[in-house]
Structure 1
């Protein structure tokens, strides 16, 4: 399997972030990680990249250990973090040129401009990074992650801040990458988006995988018609939601 987690545990100051997570993320499918805030989605992605070391368990990416062969892993992965960090004194054109030099990309200007056109970003290429809006910063992170045409995409909340047009472009791009046999793993808190784009969904709650499969499988398993109801059922949040709705009626 292109991304494989086996018995992964991670704690922060005694608080469990991930508990005995075993997963296989196949190639050729768009896989979505779902879960409430703080459920462990970002931590799991960072472990796959070798950015966070697990307390126990193993992970491999295309058969490579990201902690023993970090450079080889990062050469085949395109990563978009949830937190956006930029060199604010560089223009996007300068930043993408730097990214291209790291990966040894041929004709980097052509590649950068092609991706910029896709995301209607061309007019921002020569502004300083510090002048970009949140949405345009997100676009730049996506473009930089795609510069080297990676075999594996790991995108953490990539749709956050995107305008509808760019969101649509990204959906189609992720589907296209999956159709080429690439590995696509994204996290999102938008249930409708996951239902629309994902071939497979993985629900994490309190650091544990509580459900995985395609949307129709999970609907049958839980006997729910709406995917939103499936999510609340498998995470055990249905009771909390019912109590909140009851309290609203009393306001």
Structure 2
């Protein structure tokens, strides 16, 4: 579960990047987080993950306060950033073992999880190659596997489908659904509105640091009294505001 209460962040003391944001993402849900460039998505994700601190407000991950108890809060989630270009000099397997070490995953558990993840993402053949030799999509899959190797309850995925081939994209969406259906939480940022419409249980749209809408796609259509696609409604909400 993720709870954000009255979260605000300004840069340079001027315009708020995020203003008085309130969100609750319960267990058992894929939650989509959408917004145009510069809307406050990245700032919000950085505050949820503890990369930056809010100027005010509260960030709670599975009842752990990010400001008061950051180490325990960070143990609750796995975070896929929007760039996979990390630790390029390591081999894939070295990186996965490094991530397992960071989260105190036992030798037996990590081996089973690495094998399962590498098999699902078709990466078994490449684990002994250096990450810098990987394609963008292979790097993305390696980062995802590293995030999931400690089996976190909360997944925070920032544009995770970027660069993935269709099969791997399908696999990740399938895993997101399995994770949510097992009673855990998936926070999913994407710019592909068609994917959000099909995959997410609920979505929030942020623009200029303010949540414009939060709910199901059906509730969005009812709210705006339209049968249009999410893409059309999103554009009408965020363009020229």
TM category (shorter chain) comes to over 0.9
Listed as ranges, the gaps of 5+ residues in structure 2 are none
TM-score by length of 1: 0.91
Name 1:147's counterpart in structure 2: 149
Question: What is the Cα deviation at residue 110 of structure 1?
Answer: 2.4
Distance 1:204 1:63 in 2: 24
SS at match of 1:33: strand
Q: Does 1:234 pair with 2:237? A: yes
Aligned to 1:249: none
Q: Name the TM-score, length of structure 2 as normaliser.
A: 0.94
1:109 Cα offset (Å): 2.2
Does structure 1 residue 168 correspond to structure 2 residue 170?
yes
Q: C-alpha separation between the residues in 2 aligned to 1:12 and 1:121?
A: 41
Q: CA deviation at 1:46?
A: 1.4
| Cα deviation code 1:49-101 (max 9, x no counterpart) | 11111111111111111122222122221110112242122101011111111
Check the 8 A contact 1:115/1:143 in 2, yes or no.
Answer: yes
SS across alignment from 2:220: helix
Match of 2:192 in 1: 190
User: Which of these two proteins has the greater Rg computed from alpha carbons?
Assistant: 1
Q: Which residue of 1 aligns with 2:37?
A: 37
Choose from 114, 124, 133 the match for 1:131. Answer: 133
Contact 1:211 1:234 in 2 (8 A): no
Q: Deviations over 1:204-228 (max 9, x none)?
A: 0011100010001101111222211
Tell me the matched-pair count.
Answer: 237
Report the alpha carbon displacement of residue 40 of structure 1 after superposing the two structures with TM: 1.1
CA contact (8 A) 2:29 2:180 kept: yes
Q: Decide whether the 8 Å contact of 1:35 with 1:205 is kept in 2.
A: yes
